[in-house]
Every structure is written in C-alpha cells, then in structure tokens.
Copies of this chain bind each other. A is one copy, B any other.
C-alpha cells in the first residue's frame, strides 16, 4: 500500500445509509488527501454514489458485497454471514492485511462478534472493549467499555484500564494517565464485588504506566479530572447515552427559553456566535468514532445515525489510530502487565 492509512469501509451499515457514509469519506479525504478507501457494499449502489464525489475518483477500491447485516440481527446469526456481507468483508480486509482499519456504522453486537472471531483478542485480553473520547470542561477523556460487554468481571475491568491508558497515552499524549473506575460512590465499600476487586488489583499494579485514582461517579464524567474512565459495557452505554440525551435536553430547553420573548430573541441574536461554539463542542458528530480495543487489528464503530461530518470524524479516528500504531502499543503494555502480574503470582 502506498499513501496514508487504508480504511476498509462497510458502505451499507448504519441508519443514515450509504450516501452519508460515502459523503463522510469524501469529507475525510478533503481534510486528509493521503487516505485510501476500500468500500464494501452493493456495487451498483456504491458506484452511483461515488460518482457524486470527484474527490473519491482515485485512491478508492470498490468491492461488491452481496449482502449486509440488519440492525436487528443477532450477533450469533451475523457471524455465519461474515463472508458475504459488507461488514464481514470489511473486517476480513484487516485480517488479510489488505487494509489498516475497518469502519462500520452497523449493528454493534454483530460488529463486535465478527471482529472478535476474525481478528481474535490480543494475548491477555478476554474481551475487546469499545472506547471513545468524551468532551469535558478540560481535555477529552477516554471512556470504555461503551457497550461491547454487558457484564464484566474484575479481570476484564483491569484489562480495560490497561488498554484505555495506552489509548490515552497515545492520543492525549499523557505519559501516566489518571484512571478511575465508574461507580455509584467513591468510598471503598461502594459498588459491586467486581468493582471492588478490580480496584484492589489496580491499586497494587503500580508498575503500570497509569495512575489509578479510585472510583468516580456519573456527575464527574465531564469535569475533566480524569483521563480514563473504566466501566462495564452496560453502565458505560447508559452513561454515554444519558449524557448525549441530557445535553440535547438542555439545549432544547435553551432554545425554548430564547424563543419565549422578543427580548430573549434579541439576546439570542447577539449571543449567536458564542452559542455556535457551544453547539460545536456538544455535537455528537464531533465525537463520533469508537474503537474496539484489544483485537489484533483495528475496527472503528461509527454511530448508526452519524451525518457525513460524523462519519468523517470516525474515519479520522481510525486514521489516527493507524498512524499512532495503537495496536502495537497496547500489546506492549499488556506484555508488561502480564510479566509483572506473573512475577507477583497474580496472573490468571
């Protein structure tokens, strides 16, 4: 491969359809002309859409995928159709080293199951986790798992902490990221047994390139006082979506408030440039692109309803992960972790 990172794109996955995905790729290419794309999807449909974007006239491969995965499809069913679906074929391109990363906006459970089966987890990792950067009052923070694993044990959470710290070190450039476990209180006695056990393991693991800082609560997530928030996929998904919903709720109330009188309408007109900055900061499309960490290969999940800007952002996340060689870096951290844990008799 020549040029920049090569991204295998599931052109058929997601609620917003192939047009948004291809328009997103065009947008990403405008920002980063070295990007290479391999689209998987219905050849006729994708070709017609590609023709709408001159910037995608070169550096693009189109591979026909006869089928696609439905949003409601069970992961156990989906994995049987890996070879014939746009999602399965995009993942396979990473496995076969035909692309540096795969990207899909489709069914998260199916994407997780297919990725795990095709790419396998890294040594020392039982389950991959879905990680993303969240906006805060300070610098962004890494949060994982965002929904890949409904239930997690203490070992899973410790592995997520190691992977999340490697992500933060690579992307945020923080040599020793602050890591906290999401809980319903900060006292040691709070929460599930899994959380208490994970906290005890992380407290002892002072050889890791991370600073474990105990528990944090939902109301602290956007304060900017932590670099990595670790949680099981159920709570992580609830927290992420509640945060998105609440941000939309407050901005809806704000819109209502501004419309409530002539005076406040005038105030809105005056404040508009400043309020637009707020809008940019909160737009989920600007934070789109969650990465499956812990696999022998890169897979990025784009939000199913992402607009072209959101898709472009997820592609940029994938490209940044490739350029930062995140898979190798996580592998090194895990080797280090297991070597120490083994020396201390705590290995599994």
Instruction: Provide the residues of chain B in CB contact with A238, threshold 8 Å.
Output: 182, 184, 217-218, 231, 235, 238-239, 242
A192-B273 in contact (CB<8A):
no
Q: Which of A272-306 contact B (CB under 8 A)?
A: 272-275, 277-278, 281-282
Q: Mark A245-268, 1 if CB is under 8 A from B, else 0.
A: 111111111100110110110111
Is A204 interfacial (CB-CB < 8 Å)?
A: no
A219-B235 in contact (CB<8A):
no
Interface of A is mostly: helix
B151-A192 in contact (CB<8A):
yes
Complex Cα distance A192/B275, Å?
Answer: 40
Name 6 interchain pairs, CB-CB below 8 A, sorted by A: A218-B245, A219-B241, A220-B245, A222-B249, A242-B246, A267-B271
Query: Which residues of A line the B interface, CB within 8 A?
Result: 71-72, 74, 136-137, 147, 150-151, 182, 184, 187, 189, 191-192, 217-223, 231, 233-235, 237-254, 257-258, 260-261, 263-264, 266-275, 277-278, 281-282
A221-B245 in contact (CB<8A):
yes
Complex Cα distance A125/B251, Å?
Answer: 40
Complex Cα distance A71/B278, Å?
Answer: 37
Q: Which residue of B lies closest to A282 (CB)?
A: B250
Instruction: Provide the residues of chain B in CB contact with A223, threshold 8 Å.
Output: 245, 249
Complex Cα distance A238/B245, Å?
Answer: 14
Known: A218-B240, A264-B271. 5 other contacts (CB 8 A): A184-B233, A219-B248, A243-B243, A266-B267, A266-B270
Q: Which residue of B lies closest to A219 (CB)?
A: B245
Complex Cα distance A253/B275, Å?
Answer: 9
- Top 3 nearest A-B pairs (CB, nearest first) are A267-B271, A218-B241, A267-B270
Minimum CB–CB distance for A236 against chain B, Å: 9
Instruction: Provide the residues of chain B in CB contact with A246, threshold 8 Å.
Output: 221-222, 242-243, 246-247, 250
Minimum CB–CB distance for A215 against chain B, Å: 12
Minimum CB–CB distance for A6 against chain B, Å: 31
Q: A261 is contacted by which of B261, B264, B273 (Cβ under 8 Å)? A: B273
Complex Cα distance A191/B237, Å?
Answer: 11
Q: A150 is contacted by which of B184, B218, B249, B272 (Cβ under 8 Å)? A: B184
Instruction: Provide the residues of chain B in CB contact with A263, threshold 8 Å.
Output: 270-271, 273-274
Complex Cα distance A231/B221, Å?
Answer: 21
A150-B191 in contact (CB<8A):
yes
